Structure 1
Amino acid sequence: MRQNLQSAGRLRPVDLARAHGLSTQAVRNYEAAGILPAASRTASGYRTYTPLHAAALRAFLALLPGHGHQSAAAIMRAVNRDATEDALRLVDEGHAQLLDDRRTLEAVEAAVGDLEPLPPERGDMFVGALARRLGIRPATLRVWEQAGLVRPHRDPRTGYRVYHAADVRDALLAHQLRRGGYLLEQIAPLLAQVRSAGGVEPLEGMLAHWRARLSARSRAMLAGAAALHTYLDARGDAGAP
């Protein structure tokens, strides 16, 4: 099939570009990057492409939304150097990362759902009392503070750490996520978003948006896999020439 596609018709760079809403320079850049197979040249040195190049370009553009530019380019380069197994491994890694992201989202949703309401009359807490409530050592809270998970205030008279209601909320959320196996560096950005949102209530909208983005990425990966499958078929088994 590869030979048939290569001899089925000749395309100018502008033909390939216009069909996909790109500039001719973008097409040349993709070829130079190994995303497209090398083009043939006319006697006068002009590039000519074939339907096989068009299939490669369609595969790359379909892979982009689900895998991102770097991974999509690496997948196409692997295919074009006849390393199909390397390309498939990269695709599998993308799906594995998506699954990890889904698990992270589920852990965050569970942690937020387990948070107790913080009544406005709740008083401030010192490090010892908060540590006892969480069942951890005070030293752990200090490690969390250094990592940016909690940001207690200081009593102006004694210098002791004081945890206000929002600080207790952050500590509870951090505790839930730590129990779920998440690292401090993974938790800190989430808590920063909770603080910027003003609490966990606005976070629900963010989580819904996060879930929608994961679903869209999953569907994009399906579309990318279909286009890549078509390109692999066009090249022949395992990319053999």
Structure 2
Amino acid sequence: MGEKLQRGHGLRPIDLARRHGLSTQAVRNYEEAGILPAAGRTPHGYRTYTRLHAAALRAFVALVPGHGHPTATAIMRAVNDDDLDEALRLVDESHVQLRDDRRTLEAVERALRGLEQGAGSEADARSGPAGRFIGRLAAELGVRPATLRAWERAGVVRPRRDARTGYRVYDEADARDARLAHQLRRGGYLLEQIAPLIARVREAGGTEPLAAALLDWRARVSARGRAMLSGSAELEAYLRERG
């Protein structure tokens, strides 16, 4: 790019911007936001940047894909404020979130496998086109009827009511949702975490479309993990540059 990156050599905003496909205004905005250290000024008041600023910008751009823009901004601000402990805490928090996302993904995958393994016995468990009442479904799952009522309040299952008796009636889609919820609850997930997933299964019309979505989810989790590695490498390079 023709950049002269000796520590004392001045770089223009456009020199930094071109390297990353940014506008010069974006570079100035990053400085004002504390992502870059404060720039020097020429006698005429123009900003000048150095190798240190170039390293800071590389670190920030590398951090964004893995940590997101707000967290990457907070990390860089902490480093530039000489608060390394805070910067590392923020990095750690992102890794914890990624670990939790991966565990959730694995729990959903296990739950889907459990449903597939139980598919052969599903037909035998059906109680006809009218569906099953709460006691029967609770017995199939090995839970109490009160548990199913709690799941209903959380939006996890949505049984209809029998027009004559007012009893809850669970059709096969309800039973599928309940089995999936049961698997996830056994994995330690809260109802408020499960309900959005069940809603997605309903929207997809079953678990088969969700299986394809899980492949994409796994790819994105892996990509984020690799992005975090790249971001950490550039952040470490910036820390070394700061000395």
Q: What TM-score, normalized by structure 2, do the two folds share?
A: 0.91
Distance in 1 (CA, whole Å) between partners of 2:195 and 2:175 is: 15
% same residue: 70
TM-fit CA distance, 1:120: 9.6
Q: Give 5+ residue unaligned stretches, structure 2.
A: none
Q: How many residues align?
A: 232
Question: Where does 1:54-93 land on structure 2 (aligned, <5 Å)?
Answer: 54-93=54-93
- Choose which of 127, 134, 137 in structure 1 pairs with 2:134: 127
- Of stretches 212-221 and 97-106 in structure 1, the one that deviates more from structure 2 is 97-106
Structure 1 residue 220 corresponds to structure 2 residue 227: yes
Distance in 2 (CA, whole Å) between partners of 1:48 and 1:171 is: 62
Distance 1:194 1:120, change over 3 A: farther
Letter in 1 for 2:224: R
- Of stretches 181-190 and 138-147 in structure 1, the one that deviates more from structure 2 is 138-147
Distance in 2 (CA, whole Å) between partners of 1:110 and 1:98 is: 18
Distance in 2 (CA, whole Å) between partners of 1:152 and 1:191 is: 14
Question: Match of 2:172?
Answer: 165
Structure 1 residue 192 corresponds to structure 2 residue 194: no
Letter in 2 for 1:45: G
> Secondary structure of 2:193's partner?
helix
CA contact (8 A) 1:13 1:27 kept: yes
Q: Deviations over 1:125-178 (max 9, x none)?
A: 111111122222212211111111001112222222110001000001101111
Q: Give 5+ residue unaligned stretches, structure 1.
A: 237-241
Distance in 2 (CA, whole Å) between partners of 1:5 and 1:188 is: 55
- Choose which of 194, 207, 212 in structure 1 pairs with 2:214: 207
Relative contact order higher in (CA < 8 Å, ≥ 6 apart): 1
TM-fit CA distance, 1:121: 8.8
Moved over 4 A (4+): none
Q: What TM-score, normalized by structure 1, do the two folds share?
A: 0.92
> Secondary structure of 1:74's partner?
helix
RMSD, aligned α-carbons: 1.6
Question: Where does 1:107-126 land on structure 2 (aligned, <5 Å)?
Answer: 107-115=107-115, 116-117=118-119, 118-119=122-123, 122=126, 123=128, 124-126=131-133
Question: Match of 1:105?
Answer: 105
> Secondary structure of 2:207's partner?
coil
TM-fit CA distance, 1:5: 5.1
